[in-house]
Every structure is written in C-alpha cells, then in structure tokens.
Amino acid sequence: MAKSKKDSVEHTHKDGTKHSHKDGGKTHEHEIIAATVELKGGNKVDVYKKEAKNVYSADYKLIDDTIEKIKKESRRVSTNDYAANNVYLFLQDCLKKVRLAEK
C-alpha cells in the first residue's frame, strides 16, 4: 500500500533545509548549487540554489528568502533610471514565469 501525504516525516538537515516527505527517515542529501555572478560595474553576487528531492510540501522559507535577496539587490543596482527600468522589465518577466509554475 502506498503511503499518503499525511504519512510524511518532517525533518531538518545539517545544512538547515527543513521539509517533509514520505522517505524522510531515510538518509538522503540535497544538492546545493552555488555560483558567484559578476555584474556590470564589477559587483559580485553569490547565488545559491537548493534542490530537495521527493518533497511533498513547499518550502516557502527558501522562496521568501530569495524574494528578500532580490528586493535588496534590485535596490542596490537601481542607481539610475536606465538600471531601474531594466530591473523592472526583468522582474515583470520573472512574474510571468512564476505564474506559469502552477500549470
């Protein structure tokens, strides 16, 4: 008999990743991808992407943390009208893609 969503086990990993899924009690790892991106003007930004496998519940903390980083970085790089407009256009494109995520 297959386990249902309510049979999932919530747990926290060494790296702070917290989530729940059916095989939560089994040893498993999450892939963390990191990169440093150099922006025009010589500024560098660290980008981290955590991927959890077999996740049955959304990790809104990762999403909220990413949105906060985007807000801070957007304000930092929007030093003139041209840059602010580029950030706005990019974020509008991202919003369209976020809306497509549920489909």
Phi, psi torsion values for 54, nearest 5 degrees: 60, 40
Query: What would the pLDDT profile of 24-47 be if each residue is shown by its tens digit?
Result: 556 655 555 556 666 666 777 666
User: What is the residue extent of each domain of the chain?
Assistant: 31-100
DSSP of 50-92:
EE-SS--S--HHHHHHHHHHHHHHHHHH--SHHHHHHHHHHHH
**pLDDT recorded at residue 1:** 45
Provide the whole-model pTM.
Answer: 0.45
